[in-house]
Amino acid sequence: MLAQPGQRLTAVDIEIADGAIRRISSAGENPAPQGAEEIDGAGLLAMPGLVNAHSHSPENCLRGVGEGLLLEPWLLRMFGSSGLYTAEDHYVNAMAGAVEMLLLGVTTVVDHLWMTPPSLDGVAGAVRAYEEVGIRAGVAPLMNDCDFTGELADAIEFDLGPALMSEQVRFLEPDDLLAQFEEAVSRWHGSSDGRIRILAGPGGVQWCSDELLGGLADAARNHGTGLHIHLLETFLQKAVCEKRFGRSGVAALEDLGVLGPNCSLPHSVWIEEEDIDRIVATDSIVVHNPAANLRLGSGRCPVGRLHERGGRVAVGTDGSASSDNQNLWEMVKLAALIHNDGPRWVSGADAITMATTAGHGVLAPGDRPDGRIVEGAVADLILLDQSADGLAGVQMLEAGLALSESGRSVRHVIVDGRVVVRDGRLTTVDADAVRSALREQVERRRRDVEAPPASTGDAMSRMNTFIRSLGESAATVSSQDRRR
């Protein structure tokens, strides 16, 4: 058993009760209580289940969309052609992602749930899927109320045109969004014995008013839950924040009371030394999304420097329209490899820690031992077949898990003390039926996705010109200055 990176135990029994790890003892020392379900671990490796600390479930039917685009034109492309979503659509997408993740040994997902437009019905659809399939989930309804990109464009006399975002991304008033968040918390926060949590989910510093950012931060703290917000993913976002606040987006977030141990910051690519100081000093958590950042030419999160300062860093796939699947093992491998051209490398053990203990910090603020196989932690663990292709040839366990494993070896998956995958098959839902429903949605959206309206093309081309007009493209800057 790998209790956590660096801590291996052999010949032990793990006793689970009421969703938690109750006792770890020498094999056979404490016979199983009567009526207990026993799993034979011979030839298997037990380890904590993985945490996908940043995703967007609605993109599960949009894989492969917008290849070759920087983030901002990609957003226009995606929201200009993906169509509207019903509650049932959200249910199917969330369910399909959860099925894929559970079969790969991912026991928790943080779903930064974008909806067109934000609605409690949409949240209900995603929550219902997670309740039924048995995954642990933090659902953060994504909320934006403005876009400050236009201000920067105006300042340099660039005409971005009418469509910053497509018409289907309607901005609601901050009061309405805050009321929606309160209602979501009262309906679902802590449901399914605490397996479902509602997090505040402002979309990003550049897409939210001070009122919405401060309001959601207060509300999250009042409810003892997390706040999850995209941070400085691109060069353009950094420039927008500096124009709007006269300082970095991270400094502004600190002043608005957003940073803190309950705050998680997906991407954090364009952060400077002082920003890292603020993130570490407030014990906020960065979420590294290496595949999406590569796919969209955004640059790289300075993971090594964050680690060096003692900062917490989790890892996520991001949505499937930018990472193209929900396999967190691929992100673990990328996290362990793409920083190797700098002075501070990320080890396999570091990457596994990012995907387990650090990930749980996003979901539940506080000093819980979750993400380890230790007494008192949530009983989210996976059993891997050590004779399967991924692990059979492995010499050094932590490095092998990070670099050789891909989810192929996952035999059993336990979430909250319940066996949800047994012998590689889901026990909770019919996975083939879920995939069929997803295919139906892919087909329904295909025509619009293949041929976006002309207004989308116009907006994308203006956005591309705008990004170039800032001096250098984000991709160029990233290759020159972000080698760390």
Write the single-letter amino acid at 370: D
Residues 199-238 vs Zn ion: string with x where CB under 5 A? ----------------------------------------
| Window contacting Zn ion (CB under 5 A); options: 40-48, 312-320, 325-333, 372-380 | 312-320
Name residue 17's beta-bridge partners. 20
The residue (of 318 and 380) whose beta carbon lies closer to Zn ion is: 318
Nearest position to Zn ion, beta carbon: 318
Nearest CA to 295 out of 63, 477, 72, 67 is that of 67
At its nearest, how many Å lie between Zn ion and the CB of residue 231? 10
At its nearest, how many Å lie between Zn ion and the CB of residue 432? 29
| Window contacting Zn ion (CB under 5 A); options: 204-212, 215-223, 317-325, 336-344 | 317-325
3-state class (DSSP) for residue 33:
coil
The residue (of 14 and 53) whose beta carbon lies closer to Zn ion is: 53
Paired tokens of 341: 């051209």
At its nearest, how many Å lie between Zn ion and the CB of residue 266? 5
Paired tokens of 85: 């979503």
The residue (of 44 and 101) whose beta carbon lies closer to Zn ion is: 101
The residue (of 89 and 318) whose beta carbon lies closer to Zn ion is: 318
At its nearest, how many Å lie between Zn ion and the CB of residue 142? 9
Per rule CB under 5 A, is residue 59 in the interface with Zn ion?
A: no
Q: What's the farthest any 2 CA atoms get from each other in the chain?
A: 75
Could you tell me how many helices (H) and strands (E) the chain has, helices first?
Answer: 18, 18
Per rule CB under 5 A, is residue 324 in the interface with Zn ion?
A: no
Nearest CA to 276 out of 299, 262, 259, 292 is that of 259
* Whole-angstrom distance, CA of residue 409 vs CA of residue 426: 15
Cα dihedral 96/101/103/106 (nearest 10): -150
| Window contacting Zn ion (CB under 5 A); options: 61-69, 82-90, 311-319, 403-411 | 311-319
Per rule CB under 5 A, is residue 318 in the interface with Zn ion?
A: yes
The residue (of 228 and 372) whose beta carbon lies closer to Zn ion is: 228
Q: Which residues between 400 and 459 bind Zn ion (CB under 5 A)?
A: none
Q: How far, in Å, are 21, 39, 57 from residue 101 at the CA level?
A: 22, 21, 11
| Window contacting Zn ion (CB under 5 A); options: 123-131, 296-304, 310-318, 456-464 | 310-318
* Whole-angstrom distance, CA of residue 203 vs CA of residue 213: 9
At its nearest, how many Å lie between Zn ion and the CB of residue 107? 20
Nearest CA to 323 out of 314, 310, 332, 313 is that of 332
Paired tokens of 387: 């004779």
| Window contacting Zn ion (CB under 5 A); options: 61-69, 181-189, 247-255, 316-324 | 316-324
Q: Which residues bind Zn ion (CB under 5 A)?
A: 318
